[in-house]
Amino acid sequence: MNIFIVRHGETEWNRIGLVQGRADNPLNENGILACKQLQTLFDQKEFQALIMSPLRRTIHTGLILTENAIVEDYRLDPRIIEKDFGISDGKPIEERHLNYPNGHAPGEESYKLVRKRMITAFKSYVKRYDKDILVISHGAAIAALMKEVSPEFDRTFVRLKNNSLTVLDGKTLEVKAFDLIGDEAAQWMKDNYK
């Protein structure tokens, strides 16, 4: 069993470099196009579940990616929603880093809490599912999960690309692939997923 994790496609706020957090922005044209390109990797693949954060950008990404896949169950899981960046939402990313270098803007959710809810969600998936699942989430949320499941990520800044593919072992949560896009993702799927 594999847990396939995809960061949602690009939104306009991603494109112009604004902190997005919990803002419920839709995919932009580039995001939709990139999802359609990634979708070919999942054509005719079987998933026991498609699990998405309840924000529009993840739902739209998930539905595009599984258009030609076989999905038994569709779920929205609020535990895998993006980190709440508090008053930084909607502001330039550089401004957030300048004003809050320690990462603690007023109203901002702690990374400790994000890590806890993400690992709790993924441990529940390990217990519930015995076949491949596809999870659509967000950059900071997936980065928090990576820091929880693998010590190598805990020592580095993790920033995932839009529409990137990360794969975890469905029983151990061991990282099999991380932040792959385009040809790298296609090659990994060809070599590892039958």
Nearest of 56, 98, 59, 96 to residue 75 by alpha carbon: 59
Q: Is 14 annotated as a binding residue?
A: yes
CA distance 116 to 103: 17
In 3D space, the residue among 62, 35, 42, 5 whose CA is nearest the CA of residue 176 turns out to be: 5
The residue type of 155 is R
End-to-end CA, the chain: 12
- Active-site residue flag, 82: yes
Catalytic residue of the set 46, 67, 82, 97: 82
9 appears as a binding residue in the annotation: yes
| 8 in a known ligand binding site | yes
96 is an annotated ligand-binding site residue:
no
* Burial (0-12, 13-18, 19+ Cβ within 10 Å), 120: exposed
Instruction: State yes or no: 11 annotated in a binding site.
Output: yes
Catalytic residues: 8, 82
Q: Write out the binding residues.
A: 7-14, 57
- Going by the annotation, the residues of the binding site for substrate are 7-14, 57
